[in-house]
Amino acid sequence: GAGVSQSPSNKVTEKGKDVELRCDPISGHTALYWYRQSLGQGLEFLIYFQGNSAPDKSGLPSDRFSAERTGGSVSTLTIQRTQQEDSAVYLCASSIRAGGPDTQYFGPGTRLTVL
């Protein structure tokens, strides 16, 4: 079956511009997570959504980062006024539910380069 998809696969932007990254989770998965993978910081949690509950935003590094999930499915991660330190691979994952033993399945990621 279809896995988690993300778009674009690569994004190059100039410092100060806004970017939007998209994630389409596995059908039927109620939980959706965003992580960031960078050389210096490894894999960092950013935010997760569980059904219609308020998202857990505890991992967002600054108020320039925001995310929404429309209709309990597709999610968009927005980074405003991008900085060079935002350059990283942004990974999206989904699971049947949040927490517990449910496996998170990852998409291929979006590689963001801020010039």
Partner 1 sequence: AQSVAQPEDQVNVAEGNPLTVKCTYSVSGNPYLFWYVQYPNRGLQFLLKYITGDNLVKGSYGFEAEFNKSQTSFHLKKPSALVSDSALYFCAVRGFSSGSARQLTFGSGTQLTVLP
User: Which chain residues interact with partner 1 by CB under 8 A?
Assistant: 4, 6, 31, 33, 35, 42-43, 45, 48, 50, 56, 59, 91, 93, 98-101, 103-109
Closer to partner 1 by Cβ: residue 28 or 101 = 101
Closer to partner 1 by Cβ: residue 82 or 110: 110
In the structure encoding, which two tokens stand for residue 15, read together? 């410092």
Rounded to the nearest whole angstrom, what is the least distance from the CB of residue 105 to partner 1 in the complex? 6
Return the amino acid letter for 86. Answer: D
User: Between residues 1 and 42, which has the closer beta carbon with respect to partner 1?
Assistant: 42
Structure token digits, residue 74: 């597709």
Compute the least distance from the CB of residue 67 to partner 1, in Å: 13
Spatial distance between the Cα atoms of 7 and 74, rounded to a whole number of angstroms = 11
Whether the CB-CB separation of 37 and 21 falls below 8 Å is answered with no
Nearest alpha-carbon partner for 17 in 114, 90, 109, 111: 114
Alpha carbon distance 63, 30 (integer Å) = 25
Which residue's CB is nearer to partner 1, number 41 or number 81?
Answer: 41
